[in-house]
Amino acid sequence: MAGCWFALMNIFLMVTFGGCKRHLIKRCLLLFCVSSAFLSIISQFCIDNVFWIVVENASIKKGLTVLFVALSTVIDAVMVLIGGILFVHITNFRNYIGAMIYMEYVCIERLCSVLAVNSLSFIVIFALLQMIFFILQRKDIPYLFAKRVINCKLSVIYLSGLFIVLDMLYGAYIIFPELSANSLGIKNICWLDVLALLNTAFVIGYLRISITASREHEEKLTYYERLQSSQEDIIISLAEISEAKSGETGQHIRRVAEYSKLLAKELGMDSFKVENIRIASMMHDIGKLMIGQEILEKQGKLTQEEFEVMKKHTQYGWELLANSKGAIMNMARVIAAQHHEHWDGSGYPSHLKGDEISIFAQIVAVTDVYDALTSQRCYKDAWIPLVARKEIVEQRGRHFSPRVVDAFMECYSKIEEVRVEYADYSAPSISLAFEMRSAVGDSTPSSR
């Protein structure tokens, strides 16, 4: 009965939540064969044969009962492991969800074996426990199959521990035959039942806490995503205003953002930093809001005095973002202040060098310059991408961080895909002449 119930319930889960509607009869028969009830029959057959082989070959005459229980526990565990692996393969329940469901059924069956005194009581207790588990988990099952962030792996470990405890408690009836219900009153044997129920309640409690914690974590993630989305909208709006004032298109900030994301990922940063730099890098030139239009849109070469004014946009960027809170804004502030620093210390405004420069600013220094080189500006034509790439490589260890340039080269094909996807609205003209005006008489590549 337990095996049939196991097969039918899991077919229901497969159809309802797994979307599986093929070979259901075949799967049902296979599920019956891997059910703990069916495997316990095979396990008992193996235990009986292995036990007598061990006893006869090892000439063991004492402690046979303890040996039998220990051997039973080991073989039961092996059979459950095999059954769990086959169950996951049959149902395609991934990410430890299948293992958790299987171990729940195993533990229910073992608990029934501990509590029951005969076949009728086993059926009654089994039906009662199934009803209790259904009531407790009826709202959680859809959540489990929705690929949520619940830690099913740890739940499987706890359920496995419960299985071992219940199996050993069941073995206590073999080690201590006087605990048989026919020999002693309920007061003398209830401690085993109470111990089994307490351990089961503990694990059920953990499962409930785990699912509740997962729901709370998901709510926090949803809130963070909404907050991040709101921040991103504000940042994009401010950055687009800044770019529009300097005569550049909004596509520039999107390209720099995507380039920076690619480099951060290539450098092995975690997903949060990768996403944060994508957003924060959009504000690298926010300080240009404080620079006069006559300088930003000047067609000719900047004078030394004008260039000194232009350089102040890094400090203005820091000041504009100084009172902003949060990881993204903190990163944006540092990028705005340091993205014109050079690896060899020849940059501005603070002449930082090497790893004194934030890794995030090191990344944006490369992505900003590459996009400036390959884009048409009011003071220059666009460079051919391969020529721009060559210039980036030549500035390795001088203008740019060596490891960032290496990462740039590793993902260059993806960078080019982004450049094409977010191309400016009007096709730029191409010029091989180097006309960057980051400083008077300076041939080091830089965005203005």
Q: How far apart are CA 78 and CA 260, in angstroms?
A: 50
Task: Compute the average pLDDT of residues 222-242.
Answer: 71
Tokens of 77: 């565990």
Query: SS3 string of 185-227?
Result: CHHHHHHHHHHHHHHHHHHHHHHHHHHHHHHHHHHHHHHHHHH
Q: Can the peptide bond before residue 349 be classed as cis, meaning omega within 30 degrees of 0?
A: yes
DSSP 429: P
Q: Are residues 183 and 307 in the same domain?
A: no
* 213 and 258 co-located in one domain: no
> Do residue 214 and residue 269 come from a single domain?
no
In a domain, 180, yes or no: yes
In a domain, 148, yes or no: yes
Measured CA to CA, the distance from residue 300 to residue 140 in angstroms comes to 67
- 46's CB contacts (< 8 A; 6+ apart) are 75, 79
**124 lies in a domain?**
yes
424 near 431, Cβ under 8 Å?
Answer: no
**Same domain assignment for residues 215 and 256:** no
10, 129: one domain: yes
As a whole number of angstroms, the distance between CA 155 and CA 211 comes to 10
Task: Find all residues with CB under 8 Å of 51, minimum gap 6, and list them.
Answer: 67, 68, 71
Residues 367, 259 contacting (CB under 8 angstroms): yes
Same domain, 36 and 90: yes
* Residue 160 included in any domain: yes
State whether 166 and 307 are in the same domain.
no
Could you tell me the CATH number of the domain that includes residue 294?
Answer: 1.10.3210.10
Report the percent of the chain where pLDDT is more than 70.
83
448 or 11, greater pLDDT:
11
Q: What pLDDT, on the 0 to 100 scale, is given for residue 352?
A: 95
Is residue 90 very low, low, confident or very high in pLDDT (cuts 50, 70, 90)? confident
Question: Looking at the DSSP assignment, which residues form a beta bridge with residue 67?
Answer: none
More confident residue, 203 or 239: 203
In a domain, 24, yes or no: yes
d(CA 95, CA 291): 54
Question: 357 and 256 in one domain?
Answer: yes
Are residues 67 and 51 in contact, defined by beta-carbon separation less than 8 angstroms?
Answer: yes
The residue that leads in pLDDT, 369 or 138, is 369
In 3-state terms, what secondary structure has residue 396?
A: strand
Instruction: Show which of 220, 238, 261 is a domain's final residue.
Output: 220
- What range defines the domain where residue 172 resides? 2-220
Give yes or no for residue 273 having a pLDDT over 90. yes
Is the separation of the CB atoms in 377 and 431 below 8 Å? no
DSSP state of 28: H
pLDDT-derived band at 382 (thresholds 50, 70, 90) equals: confident
CA–CA distance, 239 with 178 (Å, rounded to integer):
81
Q: Is 435 domain-assigned?
A: no
Tell me how far apart the alpha carbons of residues 138 and 23 are, in angstroms, rounded to a whole number.
26
Cβ atoms of 278 and 260 within 8 Å: the answer is yes
Q: Is the pTM of this model over 0.75?
A: no
Q: How far apart are CA 72 and CA 163, in angstroms?
A: 13
b/e sequence 336-349, b meaning 16+ C-beta within 10 Å = bbbbbbbbeeebbe
Task: Tell me if 226 is assigned to some domain.
Answer: no
Number of domains into which the chain is organized: 2
Whether residues 207 and 312 fall in one domain: no
pLDDT tens string 29-73: 888 888 888 888 887 777 777 766 766 666 656 666 777 777 788
Q: Tell whether 392 and 296 lie within a shared domain.
A: yes
Structure-token pair, residue 96: 């430890």
Task: For residues 192 and 341, state if they share a domain.
Answer: no
Q: Is 6 part of any domain? A: yes
Same-domain pairing of 211 and 274: no
Q: Is the pLDDT of residue 135 over 70?
A: yes
CA distances from 262 to 280, 363, 365 (A): 14, 10, 14
